[in-house]
Structure formats: C-alpha cells, structure tokens
Amino acid sequence: MSASKSHAVKPLNALLDATVRVPGSKSVAARALICAALSTGTSTVSNLPSGDDTESMLAGLIQLGLKIDRFGDEARFASSLDVEQTQPLVLDARLAGTTARFLTALSALRSGEVVITGEEALRKRPMHDLHQALSEIGFDISPLNGTGMLPVAVKRGEQKSARVTIAATTSSQFTTALMLIAPRLSQGLTIVTEGDVVSQSYLDMTVGVQQVFGVTPHESSEQVFRYMPSEYVGTNYVVEPDASSASYPLAAAAIVGGRVTISGLGKSFLQGDSKFVDVLVRMGCAMEHRGDDVVLSRAAEQPLMGVVVDMRDMSDLVPTLAVVASFAQTATTITGVGFIRNKESDRIGDLAHELRQLGVSVDELQDGLTVHPSTTHAGTIDTHHDHRIAMALALIGLVTPGVVINDSMVVTKSWPEYWTMLGALQ
C-alpha cells in the first residue's frame, strides 16, 4: 500500500444514472471463514471481497495449517483447524482489527503458541476486554508489549470457567470472537455483555452465520449468549453483498441527484448497514426494489433535509452520512457512536477535522456529530489510515471541484476497486 499516492476526484456534470455491483460483505465473510475453519467436513465460502482485511484473514488461516484452495472469489476448505498442532506461529493481521480479534480467539484453541501482531496503527487499538475474557475462561494469554494491546501470545489452557462477562461498550468484535469459538469449548460458554451494546446488529449477524454452519445458541438475547458444546458442519456459503460498501454509491445518488441501482443489495439481510437506505429516504430520497436489486433516487427538485439519528447499529457509515448531511438544507445530528473514536481512526474527531478542510460546518459531540448546511470547497484530505474516511469524503468531490484524497490506496482494506467504481459513475 503506497502511503504517498493521492487521488483527485473528478466532478460529475449530470445527474446520476448508474448500476453498481459492490463486493461481498467483509463482516459476513470474516465470520463465515472462521466457521468454515472450525467445521467438520468441507466448506466453500464464495463471493468473498477482495480487500486487505479478507486477505489477511485467509493468510492467517492458511498459516494455522488449514488447507484452503482459492478460485477467484471462492475459498474451498479441504480441512478444519488442527487444534493439536504445537508448532509456534506468528500471525500478522496487518491493519485489520476484525482479523486480529477473531484469530486471537481461534488461535487460543490451539495447543501451540501463536503470536498475533499487526501494523503500528493496529497495535494501538484496544484489545484488553477480549484478552481478559479469554484469560478468565482459562486460555494462556501473554501480552508482549503492554496489557490489552498487540502483539499478544496465546495458546490453549484448561477451561476453568463456562461463563464470562465482557463489556459491550467498546467493540462488538470482542463478543463475536468469543461467540465464534464458544461451541468448541469442552464446557460450552455463556457470554454476558455489560453496558449498552454497541453494534447489536453485528452480534445478530454472527448468530445468523453460525446457524448456516449448524450452530445455534442455546440462549440468545441482547445481553446473554449461551452455547452448548457442538460442531460446526461444513457447508457452501455465499457471502451477501456488502451494505457498508453500498453506502457510497447510494450516498452519491443522494448528493448528486439522479439514481443508482445496487445489484443484489436486496439479499443483504444480515447487516445492520442495510438500513442506511431508510435514512436516505428520510432525508428526501426514494427507494424501490427491482428483484434483488435496490434502486435509490433523488429528483433534482427534491431537497435533502437533515435528520436526527442514532447510528450505533450502523456506526461504520457515520462518515458517509456526515457527507450527505453537508448538502442538506437543515442540520443533521448523529448520536450513539462515541465508541467509534477507537476505530481505524478517531471517527468523530478526525472526521470532523477533515470535513472542515472542505468547508463543512460540523460540531463534534461526545457521542457523535452535528453537521450543518454547508458550502463545500476544494481541499486535500488526510485519511488517518481509515478507508471509510477516504471513501466517504471523496463523494464531496463529485459535486465540488478540487477535492484530493491523500493515501488513497487505503481503500484496499475493503474495496480495492473503489476509485474505478467512482470514476465510472455517470
């Protein structure tokens, strides 16, 4: 990934009329890949996205000894995880928080020690709650550079608890990591979440993927997930289109006017981000289903209006909504997302700063943002190593000449073809 490469966004000269095919969901894919790795029999996971996060997950699984054959966007699992292997390993999660957290839990099932590490920005992200929970269950967890951070060494220990409590206020990925390995524990596991759950939709997604692989929690509620010892069963799993990626062409239609068709998005039912369309409709857009496709449009004479919205279940789309809100005729207030300060960037502070570079009037709140009607202007954006800031703020350049995105290849984390897609909009 080249940190020096920048991208100048080309403005559009007409209303949109485009059809876009988005990648498979990287969040769904990550869960399906772990379930396949733990399954008896063979599995195929298809419609995988091509981004760095998915590639780092597959690379880690292969290092763990899984036999995985790649055919285009398909991964065929010819084996499951051999938890009796003793060879010490080092897994590099690169910049992928999901990969780091899921592979930490998976590797803890293994007899031999595994060190989980990543690039500098990932080593600064919080891991404490997951490490502590794994330690309380009985796994051997050894921080190598400070408690609750990467790198960390993990290996199997004797299970000493079948019940663990974990804070739900930082990241749903901690809880999901435990949910994914829970059926493979000799005593099963009851996971109790404390505090206001952030991104509940991602926990529901985890349960949905597990069920396709033959595992259903014995108890599932907003605060408790109880798993009995059980087996994942190999299956052929097709990853649904990524609703997070779809937010960008959808937002483009809202900002520019016209319409965009997202191929297959009507099949995206596991992702909380699929409800982003509803927010755009509240702001003045129109939506219709055509088979499995979703069509979003905004007539030129229909103004965008601001909204007040709790985005805790669509937190990855805060940058996208903030950009759309910049073009609304009334203010938009986004709440419920204080926890996104600990994402790839500070997605409140850093986002507000970069929006101001393009003339957007924005107030930073403790748990969100208020974006005021603004007159945008040319400027250069720093991405803060965050693909979502890059992709969202680039949309301003569709109607505002002179928008340049630094470190533009950060988009390879989730959508390597993003700039090609944006350039093809017409």
- Does residue 233 sit in the same domain as residue 250? no
CATH number of the domain encompassing residue 111: 3.65.10.10
Give 52-115 as a DSSP string: HHHHHHHHHHHHTT--EEEETTEEEESS---TT----EEEE-TT-HHHHHHHHHHHTTSSS-EE
Specify the amino acid at residue 88.
Answer: P
- Does residue 322 sit in the same domain as residue 372? yes
- Does residue 114 sit in the same domain as residue 245? no
Render pLDDT for 163-184 as a digit per residue (tens, 0 to 9): 999 987 777 899 999 999 999 9
Render pLDDT for 13-66 as a digit per residue (tens, 0 to 9): 999 999 999 999 999 999 999 999 999 999 999 999 998 999 999 999 999 999
Per the annotation, the verdict on 52 as an active-site residue is no
Return the percentage of the chain with pLDDT > 90, whole number: 86
Q: Which of 273, 316, 350, 407 is flagged as catalytic?
A: 316
Range in 131-135, 250-254, 340-344 with the lowest mean pLDDT: 340-344
Is residue 3 over pLDDT 50? Answer: no
Q: Cβ neighbours of residue 72 under 8 Å, at least 6 residues apart?
A: none
- Does residue 207 sit in the same domain as residue 303? no
> Mean pLDDT across the stretch 281-305?
97
Do 251 and 278 meet the contact criterion of CB atoms below 8 Å apart? no
* Domain membership flag for residue 1: no
* pLDDT (0 to 100) of residue 4: 58
* Domain membership flag for residue 297: yes
Range of the domain at 105: 26-238
Render pLDDT for 376-415 as a digit per residue (tens, 0 to 9): 999 999 999 899 999 999 999 999 999 999 999 999 988 9
> Mean pLDDT across the stretch 280-307?
97
Is residue 269 over pLDDT 60? Answer: yes
> Mean pLDDT across the stretch 93-108?
95
Is residue 1 over pLDDT 50? Answer: no
- Does residue 56 sit in the same domain as residue 39? yes
Is residue 425 over pLDDT 70? Answer: yes
- Looking at every residue in the chain, the average pLDDT score rounds to 94
In the three-class reduction of DSSP (H, G, I as helix; E, B as strand; rest coil), residue 46 is classed as strand
Q: Single out the residue in 238, 253, 285 at which a domain terminates.
A: 238
> Mean pLDDT across the stretch 107-114?
98
Render pLDDT for 309-322 as a digit per residue (tens, 0 to 9): 999 989 999 999 99
Domain count, the chain: 2
* pLDDT (0 to 100) of residue 222: 76
- Does residue 283 sit in the same domain as residue 377? yes
For residue 124, give both structure tokens: 């600064």
In the three-class reduction of DSSP (H, G, I as helix; E, B as strand; rest coil), residue 17 is classed as strand
